[in-house]
Amino acid sequence: MIRLAVTHVLNAALGEDRFHVNTNSDTYKRANIQFLGIEATDFINCDLSKHFVLAADFIQCGLQGGGKVFVHCVQGASRSATLVVAYLMIKKHMVVQDALRLIREKREVCPNHGFLQQLCNLNEELKKSGHFSSK
């Protein structure tokens, strides 16, 4: 992480069982890396949407300061990808399809159906509020 100049880490799979990644702020403290851990499972009934704004703010904070943000989960395909899509929607005013397309140009991701529905719900909320037209 230090070699890559990462300044912020968002663990979207905080926890101690085999479906999670057991890291916390102590893991990164000596390297002066800011940490945010979100306890989430990769199940369709997991409400990841309650963390969308917090995650988007954390990512934005890291990038605004000229830093590099590493967002991860166990496989890097569902939980972390969902939070990055939400960031692009909330902070970069991208509709869900464009945000997913952008990420899929860089890496293979596959948010689970529950997370995709939550992103579609976010898209509708942002659309109704005029968020996408206020670039």
pLDDT of residue 35: 93
pLDDT of residue 70: 95
Q: Is residue 69 part of a domain?
A: yes
Number of domains into which the chain is organized: 1
pLDDT of residue 134: 57
pLDDT of residue 18: 62
Q: Is residue 58 part of a domain?
A: yes
Q: Please give the Cα distance from 41 to 34 (Å, whole number).
A: 22
pLDDT of residue 54: 99
pLDDT of residue 74: 85
Q: Is residue 123 part of a domain?
A: yes
pLDDT of residue 135: 55
CB 57 within 8 A of CB 34: no
Active site residue 110: no
pLDDT of residue 57: 98
Query: Helix, strand or coil for residue 26?
Result: helix
Q: Is residue 1 part of a domain?
A: no
Q: Which of the residues 61, 73, 110, 120 is marked catalytic?
A: 73
Q: Is residue 109 part of a domain?
A: yes
Q: Which segments of the chain have a pLDDT < 50?
A: none
Q: What is the CATH number of the domain that holds 99?
A: 3.90.190.10
pLDDT of residue 19: 66
Q: Is residue 105 part of a domain?
A: yes
> Containing domain of residue 45, as a range?
8-133
pLDDT of residue 107: 93
The count of other CB atoms within 10 Å of the CB of residue 77 is 16
